[in-house]
Amino acid sequence: MRIEWPDPEGQEIVERLFAVAVALRVHFEETAADVGLTVPQAHTLIHLQEPQRMGEVAAYLRCEPSHVTAIADSLERCGLLRREPDPEDRRAKRLLLTSSGQQLRDRLVARLFESAPIISVLDADQRIELLSLLRTAQSAAGSDIRH
């Protein structure tokens, strides 16, 4: 990013974290495309390990509910999920994966994690160290996956 900054060490951390973010994003896009999904479709599929109400999916994706309708339409057309009425609230619908949706989700998740950039280079000790730092850093802030 090449940025001037009074605290060069803090700067480098942010730059490198941005680079991590980019690498993960590209990794996600490529993996989704590999299994024939767009990015929002892949995010939705990943989130549907258990059936979820559409509004809940919209909150997860940080988008308008109307957009979830469109994503669900496309995934339903592909036979990857079904809508079912929510037994607790007849206004709401729950999205749930079909068996082929479940299979595709498994493949997607496996590929996403098996070749994730960055961590593969670290040895066991370094991983533990990194994990501990990430836990500390994130203990305050809460966040979700997003495209």
Partner DNA sequence: AGAAAACAGTTCATTCACTGAAGTAATCTC
Partner DNA sequence: GAGATTACTTCAGTGAATGAACTGTTTTCT
Instruction: Identify the CA nearest to 37 among candidates 90, 80, 2, 66.
Output: 80
Among positions 77-116, residues that touch DNA (CB under 7 A) are 83, 86, 89-94
Helix axes 39-47, 65-77, angle to 10 degrees: 90
Among positions 90-119, residues that touch a copy of itself (CB under 8 A) are 109, 112-113, 116-119
- Which of DNA, a copy of itself, none does residue 33 bind (CB under 5 to 8 Å by kind)? none
Instruction: Identify the CA nearest to 29 among candidates 42, 16, 19, 17.
Output: 42
Helix %, strand %, coil % of the chain (to 5): 60, 10, 25
Among positions 26-45, residues that touch DNA (CB under 7 A) are 38-41
Binding site for a copy of itself (CB under 8 A): 1-5, 9-14, 16-26, 28, 46-47, 49, 109, 112-113, 116-119, 121-122, 126-131, 133-141, 143-146
Binding site for DNA (CB under 7 A): 38-41, 53-56, 58, 61-73, 83, 86, 89-94, 147
